[in-house]
Amino acid sequence: VQLQASGGGLVQAGGSLRLSCVASGSIFSINFMGWYRQAPGKQRELVAGITSDGNPNYADSVKGRFTITRDNAKNTVYLQMNSLRPEDTAVYYCRADVRRVFTIPTFNPYWGQGTLVTVSS
């Protein structure tokens, strides 16, 4: 199973970016999908997550600015980021909890490679 994240870049404060993450490989089903971020010198934190039936949750710091969605048919999760702030600068990682084909029915977390978001003031 591989996760490929894209969409990061440099944006001015107040701007927008949309991150995408596609999961591929021997996937039977995906449960939780989410976006995490890690800023320099800080621990990785959950930004937003979404269940298989579409229920989202957000970190308090991004509520009202970020929106997470997913396309189950495409095994893809998106993060629409609006009103970006310099403190949103970080490497963003996607995560998917995957049940693989021909395996026992458990879900294991897989991570994307990270995409850098830089917000200038």
Q: How confident is the model at residue 63 (pLDDT cuts 50, 70, 90)?
A: very high
Q: Are strands 9-12 and 115-120 parallel, antiparallel or unpaired?
A: parallel
- Find the mean pLDDT for residues 37-64: 97
Indicate whether 104 pLDDT > 90: no
Instruction: Report the percent of the chain where pLDDT is more than 90.
Output: 97
Q: How confident is the model at residue 105 (pLDDT cuts 50, 70, 90)?
A: confident
Q: What are the pLDDT digits (tens) for 24-38?
A: 999 999 999 999 999
CA-to-CA separations, 44 to 20, 37, 39, 107, in angstroms, rounded:
19, 5, 7, 21
pLDDT of residue 102: 85
